[in-house]
Structure 1
Amino acid sequence: MTDGSSDMKQSRRTDLTSLLDLEVLDVDFFRSTHARLPRGVIGVYGGQVVAQAIVAATHTLDRAFHIHSLHCYFVSIGLPATPIYYHVDRIRDGRSYSARAVRAAQNGKMFFIMLCSYQKPEPWQPTYRSPMPNVPAPEECDTFQAYFRRRAEEETDAWTKHHYTGKAEFHDGIPIEVRRAAGGFQDGFYVLCMWVRAVYVPECDAAYQKAVLGYISDLLFLEAGGYAIGLRESNEEGADVTGYCTTVDHSIWYYSDDFDCTQWIMFESRVPQAGSGRAIVHRRAFTRDGTLIANLSQEGVVRAKVYGPGEPSKVESKL
C-alpha cells in the first residue's frame, strides 16, 4: 500500500490550508474565502461548514477558553460556488464557560446554525476514558481508495462499477487519508472503524486542531446508518438500494486539548437505530495510543429507493 503520489499530496496540501480560512468583515461577521465540492457531494461538504463555524466562534473568545462541545443543524444544502457568511452571537461570557451561536447564510438565507460552548480547561480534575476497540493498525489496513477500486473491479454492472470508481476518486481528492479497519455487526450494533489523518496541517494550536477535527468528523459518518439497514449502491429501485443520504444534525464533545490531526485518529462509529427515513450514528475518536479525545453523534436522512403510498417514483428527494 502507498500513501499516494507527491503531486496528490501537494494538491491536498493547498486545499487544507485554505479550506478553513475566513475573511473578517466586521465585529462577529465573517466570510468564507474558499469552498470546495468534492466529487459525489451534492452541496458544500458539511465538515467544512462545521470547521469554519468553529473558527468564526473561536475568533470571538479569549484564547484561555477552549471549545468543548458543539451542536449543529443543517437546515438546507450549502452552495459551493456562493460565499458563506458567518455571524456569531455572543450568548454568554462567564468565568469558566462561555457560549456562542453561529449562523451561516448564503444569498441572505440561513442554511446552517451551530450552538457551541467553551470552557477554561480544568486538567487537575479526575479523568475517566473508555478504552479504544481492538482494531488492526493503520499500516495493516487498506485505504478507502483501494477498497472502492477493488469493489469496482469485482462488479459486472457498468453503473455500479462507475459508482465505486467515483468513490475512489472522491478519496483521491480530499485532504484526508482514510483506511478501513473493520465493519460489521457487534453486540447488536452496526460498527464501522476507520483510521483517519489530515494529509497536511501546519503546526498549530489546540483551537485550530479542534477545527480540523470538525472538518474530518463528517467523513463517512452517516453512511454507517445505510450499512446498518443493508442498503447497497445501485441505479435500480428497492428497499435495499440507497436513495438519499444527508446530515440533519451533528454534535461533537471534545475531551482533549492535546492531539494532532496529522497523526492517525481512529473513528469508531456505532449505529443503534435506523428507521422512518432517518438514522442516528454515535462515534468515538481515539488517538493512536488509545486516548479518547472526542465523542460525536450525527442524525440524518437515510432513505432507500422505496416510495410511500401515492408517492411517485423517481421524484426529487426533499427534506
Structure 2
Amino acid sequence: MGSPVDRLVDLLDLEQIEVNIFRGRSPEESLQRVFGGQVAGQALIAAGRTVDRERPVHSLHAYFLRPGTPGVPIVYQVDRIRDGRSFTTRRVLGVQQGKTIFALTADFHLPEESPFEHQVAMPDVPAPESVPSALEEVGSVLGELPPFISRRQPFDLRYVERLRWTEDEVKELEPRSAVWLRTNGTLPDDPLIHTCAVTYASDMTLLDSVRVPVEPLWGKRNFDMASLDHAMWFHRPFRADEWLLYQQESPIAVGGRGLAHGQIFDRSGQLVVSVMQEGLFRRIG
C-alpha cells in the first residue's frame, strides 16, 4: 500500500480517459461523504494537466454542490475557458454517478515582475519542533483515533496552542486557530503536486476557527459541518513537504454558516497562500 504520502500522491495521479476528461479514485471510507480537500486537489490536478507548466496556478474558486460517495470514482470534465497571453482559465466539473458534485474555476498566470510588493507579517508562534504532533496528542488522550483521521495521515499537523477537551475550556477562546503542517515524507518536485497537496490540506483545519469558541476540536461533536465553497490564492512558490504555518480565523458565524480566512506562511515568514472558506453547521440530534 505504501506510506500515507505515497497514497496521497497516488490519489492525485488521475487517469486521463479523454483529451479533457480525467478520472480520480475515491478511497473506500466509513464516513458519509468524500473529503472536500481530496475533490478540490484532484480537480486542480485535472485543470493543471491541460495548462503549460510554465504557468502556475494563481487562484481557484470552488463550490461543493453535493456530498460525494466514498469508494466511487469521480470523473473530472475540464472546460478550456481561455488561453490568453498571460492568463489561462479552466473550469472543472466533478461528476459522480451521473451528478455534478463539485465545480471549480482555476486561473493560471505566467510569472512576471511586480512593480511593488508588500505582505502582512507572519505571527510570532512557537517553532514546529516545540509543539507536539496532533495525531500523537489525540491518540494519547482518546486511546484511539477518530475514523476521519485517515485523511490527515499524509500530513504532520501540529497545533500551535494546546488542544482543549471540554466545553468549559473553549468558552472564552477567540475564533482562531493555527497549525504547522507538512507532508509526512518527501513529495516529487513537480510544483503542481505541491500546490494540490496544500489544496488538499487547506480543507482539513480551516473550519476549526469557526468551532473553537463552541466545542472542542476533537472527541464528541455537537455539530455536523460541511464545506460550502472554497477559494485560494497562490502568491509564491513553496514546498508542501517543508514546514508551513496555517493561520486561521473566523470573522463571522451566522445563519447556520461560518466564514473562515486562512493565511499560509513558509518557514522564512513569506506569505505563500491565502484561503477563504464558508461552511454549513447544523446541530446533531
Residue in structure 2 matched with residue 68 of structure 1 by the alignment? 58
Distance in 2 of aligned mates of 1:173 and 1:118: 28
Contact kept, 8 Å, 2:215 with 2:222, in 1: the verdict is no
TM-superposed CA distance for 1:279, in Å, is 0.5
TM-superposed CA distance for 1:53, in Å, is 0.7
> Is 189-198 or 201-210 further displaced after alignment?
201-210
Aligned partner of 1:102 among 92, 104, 113: 92
Residue in structure 1 matched with residue 167 of structure 2 by the alignment? none
TM-superposed CA distance for 1:171, in Å, is 5.7
Cα shift readout 1:192-238 (whole Å, capped 9, x = no counterpart) = 01000011343313222111111111111213212233467776xxx
Residue in structure 1 matched with residue 6 of structure 2 by the alignment? 14
- For residue 192 of structure 2, give the secondary structure of its aligned residue in structure 1: helix
Residue in structure 1 matched with residue 185 of structure 2 by the alignment? 200
Distance in 1 of aligned mates of 2:230 and 2:117: 25
Q: 2:38 is matched by which residue type in structure 1?
A: Q
2:225 is equivalent to residue 245 of structure 1: yes
Cα shift readout 1:40-87 (whole Å, capped 9, x = no counterpart) = x43221111111111110111122211100011101111121110000
Contact kept, 8 Å, 2:139 with 2:145, in 1: the verdict is no
2:260 is equivalent to residue 286 of structure 1: no
Contact kept, 8 Å, 2:175 with 2:211, in 1: the verdict is no
- TM-score, normalised relative to structure 2: 0.88
Change (3 A) 1:221 1:268: same
Gaps of 5+ in 1: 1-6, 154-164, 236-240, 306-313, 315-319
- For residue 106 of structure 2, give the secondary structure of its aligned residue in structure 1: strand
Mapping of 1:1-319 within 5 angstroms? 10-32=2-24, 34-36=25-27, 41-152=31-142, 165-167=144-146, 170=149, 174-182=153-161, 189-230=174-215, 242-256=222-236, 258-305=237-284, 314=285
- For residue 142 of structure 1, give the secondary structure of its aligned residue in structure 2: coil
Change (3 A) 1:118 1:242: same
Q: 2:224 is matched by which residue type in structure 1?
A: Y
Q: Kindly, what percent of the aligned residue pairs are identical?
A: 30
- For residue 195 of structure 2, give the secondary structure of its aligned residue in structure 1: helix
Change (3 A) 1:117 1:150: same
Change (3 A) 1:170 1:272: same
Larger radius of gyration: 1
Distance in 1 of aligned mates of 2:270 and 2:29: 31
Paired positions, count: 277
Distance in 2 of aligned mates of 1:274 and 1:45: 22
Contact kept, 8 Å, 1:264 with 1:288, in 2: the verdict is yes
TM-superposed CA distance for 1:247, in Å, is 0.4
Distance in 1 of aligned mates of 2:88 and 2:196: 17
Gaps of 5+ in 2: 165-169
Change (3 A) 1:78 1:172: closer
